[in-house]
Amino acid sequence: MELQIGDIQETALITLAIRASETARSNARIKDYLAKEIIDTLGVEFSQYDHFMSHEGVVARTIMYKNQLQELIDQYPDALCVNLGCGFDDKFVQVDNGQIMWYDVDLPDILSIRRKVCKDRERCVMKEGSALESDWTKGLPQRSTNIIVMEGVLEYFTKEQVETCLNILCDSFEHGYLLAELHHPILGRNTKHHDSVKYTNAEFHWGTKSGREYLELEPRMSLISERSYNEEMKKYSFRAKLFAFFLPFLNNRLAVYKW
């Protein structure tokens, strides 16, 4: 099947392919049954997207995002959670406590594919929207706090687009947390050297050396924590250990902001 999707949207196939192939392993570190179901339903060849360092990075970040999200949900058990740029990721099942309200938001072409396999659930709803426009934020239920998850999305935005997105979040939600994936400026200039993204037409853009650089774009936010994916990746392979030792700054990071 030929999928008609935009350039950045195609990168959602990378994480989909990796989570499905990891789930199929006998010693799987993460389980994502929706990913496997989507791949089986679409019948598309995905092997070009699943390469070693990307695989390890996606597994690591999936674990780190889950743990971080779990910690926040323990503090705010009835939070409103939004996976902004959700792609085909099914985080809701990993952290559902029976109370949270969850929205999976992405561009219409991605959600039209997602809807072929996935139906809205009682507290987990899909909503078409762009991180660069505020329409999707209207009419959401009020909860004690808001947790916005952006995994593998902001790397594809220019500095101006990151600023627009951060401003929309602070204008639309009175209080909240943002879980953001950050990347180094060197990666921002080197999409062609990334082992999986180089096979797509997507390009990385503005990167940061520190999560504090976001605060200049949106002073209402404060930086709570910033951790490299090396923390998790180096547990599993010698190559990741070497990478973490020689180029510690180069891996992506999970940053948590509060406003």
Q: How far apart are CA 106 and CA 140, in angstroms?
A: 15
Nearer to ligand SAM, 79 or 149 (CB): 149
Q: Which is nearer to ligand SAM, 32 or 211 (CB)?
A: 32
Which CB, 144 or 158, lies closer to ligand SAM?
Answer: 158
* Residue count of the chain: 259
**Between residues 29 and 241, which has the closer beta carbon with respect to ligand SAM?**
29
Closest CA to 184 of 109, 118, 249: 249
Q: How far is the CB of 142 from ligand SAM (least distance, A)?
A: 23
Residue number, nearest CB to ligand SAM: 87
Cβ neighbours of 222 (radius 10 Å): 11
Query: Torsions phi, psi of 149, nearest 5?
Result: -105, 125
Handedness of CA 185, 15, 64, 244 (dihedral sign): negative
Assess contact for 243 and 56: CB atoms under 8 A.
Answer: no
* Vertex 58: Cα angle to 107 and 137 (nearest 5): 30
Closest separation in Å from C-beta 240 to ligand SAM: 19
Residues that bind ligand SAM (CB under 6 A): 8-9, 11-12, 15, 85-87, 89, 106-107, 110, 130-132, 151-153, 156
Residue nearer to ligand SAM on the CB measure, 66 or 241 = 66
Q: How far is the CB of 152 from ligand SAM (least distance, A)?
A: 3
Least separation in angstroms between CB 149 and ligand SAM? 8
Among candidates 245, 237, 249, which has minimal Cα distance to 211?
Answer: 249
As measured in angstroms, the least distance from the Cβ of 146 to ligand SAM is 17
